[in-house]
Amino acid sequence: MKVSILPYVLLAAVPSALAQNWTFLEGLINTLEGAGCTTLTGAASQLNSSDQGKSLLATLSSGEPYVLFAPDNTAFSNAPSNLTSDITDLFAYHIVSGNFSGVATTYPNVTLGRTFLNDTQYVQLEGNKSQVLAWAIRSDGKTHVLNQVNDSTVTNTTTYGNVTINVVSSVLSYPASFTNSVPYVNSSLTSLESTLTNVSVPFYNSSTGSLSNASVLDVVNSGLRGFTLFAPNNSALAAIQNGLATLESNTSLLQIILDNHLINGTSVYSPELVGQSFVSAAGEALTFAINETGQYVTSGNTTAQIVQPDVLLRNGVVHVIDRVLFNTEENASAASSAAASATSAAAHSTTETRPIGYSQTATLDGASGAGASSTSASKKSSATSVLMGATIGQMVAAGLTALGIAVGGLMTFG
Domains contained in the chain, CATH given: 6-168 (2.30.180.10), 178-403 (2.30.180.10)
The span from the CA of 328 to the CA of 321, in Å, is 18
Residue 17, number of CB atoms within 10 A of its CB: 8
What is this structure's pTM? Answer: 0.83
| Helices and strands (DSSP H and E) totals, the chain | 14, 19
Q: Tell me, what's the pLDDT at 19?
A: 53
pLDDT digits (tens, 9 = 90+) for 31-73: 999 999 999 988 877 777 778 888 888 888 888 999 999 999 9
CA–CA distance from 334 to each of 170, 272, 385, 389 (Å)?
A: 44, 21, 9, 11
CA distances to 136, 167, 319 from 309, in Å? 11, 24, 4
The reported pLDDT for the residue numbered 350 is 65
Q: E strands, 266-378, where? A: 277-279, 285-291, 294-299, 302-313, 316-321
Q: What is the pLDDT of residue 113?
A: 96
| Rounded Cα–Cα distance for residues 262 and 410 (Å) | 20
Cβ neighbors of 55 (< 8 A, separation 6 or more) are: none
Give the residue ranges of the chain where pLDDT is below 50.
Answer: 1-5, 7-8, 11, 14, 16-18, 20, 360-414
**What's the pLDDT tens digit per position in 329-351?**
999 889 878 777 877 777 766 66
| Predicted pLDDT of residue 207 | 62
Of 222, 179, 191, 226, give the one whose Cα is nearest residue 347: 226
